[in-house]
Amino acid sequence: MAQADYEHAFRERIRAIYPGGDISKINMLPDDTAERILREILETGCLSGNYSNIEIAHEALAEIPPKWLLEHLPEVVPACLFKEPEWLEWEFRRLAEMLRGRFPDAFAWFVEYAGKLHDPEVDEAVAELSVMTNEQRAEQFIGKYGFDFERIPKEEIIHLIEEEIADHREGSSEYIRLLCGYLFCLGDSSDVPLLEKAKYGINMDVGCMIDGEWIESLKNGGAETEYVNEREKIVESFVAYYRDFEADDVW
């Protein structure tokens, strides 16, 4: 079967439960209907060994409002997953991949729940989550904060940057770049010293990753110059780059 065939079959199963088929409206449906849809998504993505189905389920779950998902996962997960001992680790990893980054609160609940399965292979997989790569940290950060900059406390971003400067984790520079980008979007000229400290005070790799344009834009009040775009365009470019960001690292 081609990818389109798997997608068509999945959507037909969803429409059999809810003729409208719009998963993003799941929070507006009766609980019984909505939880049947969620169960179909979890079974498609976690009980299958076919990566087309896994990808389809990943995309479908992303349509669900995070608050609703957190409220209903505890009902649906025990009803459809972790029934066969030999598949526990596989199912854990598949759902963890779907939740990690985009649904941090649901992910935290799921990791705690999985620890209660008392399965050595699942426990080993859970332990791996405690050592996230920098790209995974970036993905999780985006899932938590989003891009509504008016609702993001700048003080929290400053604190995270200061922590990262003091104890930079080796590997990809994506996380520290992301933090600095958020500070640029939220900040003003008073934030230039911290951005310069991050760019020039860690190592060359980090320095190359953090955009000098952000610093220059804050210095000149966001005006467009020969070498720097206007602030609004820089922010738009930053958001466009990270909106659908997914870590390349897998575990």
Residue 250 counted as domain residue:
no
Residue 23 counted as domain residue:
yes
Residues 103 and 143 in one domain: no
Residues 87 and 7 in one domain: yes
Residues 228 and 126 in one domain: no
Number of Cβ within 10 Å of residue 225's Cβ equals 11
Structural domain count of the chain: 2
Q: What is the pLDDT of residue 131?
A: 73
Q: What is the pLDDT of residue 130?
A: 64
Q: Evaluate if residue 251 carries a pLDDT over 60.
A: no
Residue 187 counted as domain residue:
yes
Q: What is the pLDDT of residues 52-98, one digit of tens each?
A: 999 999 999 999 999 999 999 999 999 999 999 999 999 999 999 89
Q: Evaluate if residue 175 carries a pLDDT over 50.
A: yes
Residue 249 counted as domain residue:
no
Q: Evaluate if residue 1 carries a pLDDT over 60.
A: yes
Q: Evaluate if residue 47 carries a pLDDT over 50.
A: yes
Residue 44 counted as domain residue:
yes
Q: What is the pLDDT of residues 207-240, one digit of tens each?
A: 999 999 999 999 999 999 999 999 999 999 999 9
Residues 9 and 102 in one domain: yes
Residue at which a domain ends, from 86, 113, 130: 130
Residue 247 counted as domain residue:
no
pLDDT band at 28 (very low <50, low <70, confident <90, very high): very high
> What domain range includes position 147?
135-242
Residue at which a domain ends, from 63, 96, 130: 130
| CA–CA gap between residue 77 and residue 98 (Å, rounded) | 13
| 70 touches 27 (CB < 8 A) | no
Q: What is the pLDDT of residues 111-146, one digit of tens each?
A: 999 999 999 999 999 887 767 789 988 998 998 899
Residues 141 and 171 in one domain: yes
Runs of H (alpha helix) within the chain: 3-17, 31-46, 51-61, 66-80, 88-99, 104-115, 120-128, 134-145, 154-166, 174-186, 192-201, 204-209, 212-219, 231-242
Q: Evaluate if residue 250 carries a pLDDT over 60.
A: no
Residue at which a domain ends, from 130, 158, 192: 130
Q: What is the pLDDT of residue 249?
A: 54
Taking residues 33-54, what's their average pLDDT? 94
Q: What angle do CA 197, 202, 203 make, to 5 degrees?
A: 130
DSSP secondary structure of 138-179: HHHHHHHHTT-GGGS-HHHHHHHHHHHHHTPPSS-SHHHHHH
Residues 85 and 202 in one domain: no
Residues 54 and 161 in one domain: no
Joined tokens for residue 135: 């790209």
| CA–CA gap between residue 222 and residue 25 (Å, rounded) | 39
Residues 93 and 205 in one domain: no
